[in-house]
Amino acid sequence: MGGLTDLGAAELLSALATRRTSATEVMAAVLDRIAAVNGPVNAIVALRDRDALMAEAAAADTVPQDRRGPLHGLPMAVKDLAGVRGIRSTWGSPILADNVPDKDDMLPRRLRAAGAILIGKTNTPEFGLGSQSFNPIYGATATPFDLSRTAGGSSGGAAAALAARMLPLADGSDMMGSLRNPAGFCNVYGFRPTWGRVPTDPVGDTFLHQLATDGPMARNVADLALLLQVLAEPDPRLPHGRPNQAFATGLDTDPRGLRIGWLGDWGGAYATEPGILDLCQSALATFADMGCTVAPVAPPYPAEKIWHAWITLRSWAVAAKLGPWHANPKTRALLKPEAIWEIERGLALSAMEVHRASVLRSEWNTIAAGLFDQFDVLALPVAQVWPFAKDTPWPKSIGATPMDTYHRWMEVVVPASLIGLPTLAAPAGFGADGLPMGLQLIGPRGQDHRVLQLGQSWHRATDWPGRRPPDLPLSL
C-alpha cells in the first residue's frame, strides 16, 4: 500500500475522522511530497511557510468531531485566479506580482469554511488565457507524465499537482476547457458544472456573461462530487443560481442502457492529431462493454457558427474584465499579446454583434436540447492535440491545418462551454508514446449528477489515475 499522499480526499477525510491519521501527519506528508517532486513539475506556487502550516494542522487536530466541516484538515492549494487572504495571488500577471489580498474570494472562503487548510496556489497562465500554464511570474507547469511537456491549462497546476500526488483534491475553473484540457493532459478528472451551479462573488455584471465557471478536479469521481457539493451552495445575490444537490451520494448506479452519442471530430471540422480519436473510440468500446449504447452523431450544427459565437462572446467577456488594465498604458505594457488581442477585439464589438452571437448560441442550445432526447450524454475528445512542449506558447498548426488564433487548437471544448453544459473530463488512457488523453462526457443542462454517475461507473471499470507518472518517485 502507498502512503498518505496516494489516498484520495474521501479516504483521507475518513482516516482523519476515525483518528487513523491526524491533520499534522497528512500535512507533513503533503509538504514532503511537494518538496520531493514539485521542482520539475512546477505545479504548486506561493507555498506558505511549513511551520505555519504545521501549526494550523495541529490546531485542526484539536477541533471536536461535531464542529468539523466536510473538508476538515485537508491540505489544498487554490488556483491562482482567485484572491486568497495572506497568500500571494498574482493571476500569473506581472501587474499583480506583489498582490497579497487581505480577504478571500468566494471559492477559498468556502474551502476554509469547510475546514480545508490552504497551503498556497496552483499555477496558471496569465489571467487564465490559453491552455498552457506558463507565466512570467512562475514559469511553466509540466505534465508529470513527460516533464518536457505542458500540463495544459488554465488549471494546469491543479491537474499536475493531483497527478503527482502533491494534492488529494483541487479546484479549477473553466471558460474554454480549463478544467478539461489539463485533466486530459495529466490523467485526472475535471468537471465543468452546469453554468450557474457554482457561484462567484457578485462583483460587476452578474447577468450577461455566461461562459466561465469554477469546478472540481480529482483523481476519482467521488472526490469531484464531494468538492462540488462544497462549492455549489447557491448565493441569493446571483440571478442565475441553481439549488445544491447531494452530489456525493447515489453515485454508484448501473450504466447499462445509457445512450452515448459520439461526435468525434465534428465531421472533420476539428483538426485532430493522430491517435486521439482512436484512443477515445477505444474508451467508448469499454462503455459498450459496460452495457451502454454508443452511436456516432453527424455534425448537428455548423462548427463555424459555434466558433463565431464563441470568439465574439469570449472577447466581449475578456474585454469587460481586463479592459481597465488595457486602458492604463503602464499596465497595458505588462499584458501578454494574447490578452491584448482579446481585449481589443472585445472593445471593438458593437452591441448588435454581441446580440447576433448570442442568437447563434441560442440556436445551438435548441439543437443540443433535441440531441438529449436521443442520448443521455454526448462524447468528444478532451483535446485535439497531445501534450506539447512546455516551451511552446500554443500550437500554431495541427498537421497541415494552421491555427488562426491562440486557442483555435482547443475548439473541441467549445460546444459544451458555449451553452453551459455539465461536462466530465474522464481519463481515456495513453497513446503509443505514453502520453495521456481524456474524453468529454457532456450531459443536459442541470444534469450534473447524472454525468457524475456515469463517470463513477467509468472510474470503477478503469481507474486510469491509478497509473502513476513514470519519472517521479513513489508517493510518501
Q: Catalytic site residues?
A: 79, 154, 178
User: Residue 416 CB: number of other CB atoms within 10 A?
Assistant: 23
Question: In the block, which residue shows the cell 508529470?
Answer: 144
To the nearest 10 degrees (0 to 180), the angle between helices 156-163 and 23-41 is 110
Q: Are strands 377-381 and 259-262 parallel, antiparallel or unpaired?
A: parallel
Q: Are strands 401-402 and 423-430 parallel, antiparallel or unpaired?
A: unpaired
Three-class SS of residue 13?
Answer: helix
Work out the burial of residue 103: count CB atoms within 10 Å of its CB; fewer than 13 is exposed, 13-18 middle, 19 or more buried.
Answer: exposed
Q: Are strands 134-135 and 117-122 parallel, antiparallel or unpaired?
A: unpaired
Q: Are 180 and 441 in contact (CB under 8 A)?
A: no
Three-class SS of residue 452?
Answer: helix
Secondary structure (DSSP) of 241-299: ------TTSS-----TT-EEEE-TTTTTTS---TTHHHHHHHHHHHHHHTT-EEEE---
CA distance 137 to 93: 7
Output the nine-digit C-alpha cell for 232. Answer: 455549489
CA distance 67 to 284: 44
Under DSSP, the state recorded for 209 is -
Alpha helices in 290-350 (DSSP H): 303-327, 329-332, 337-348
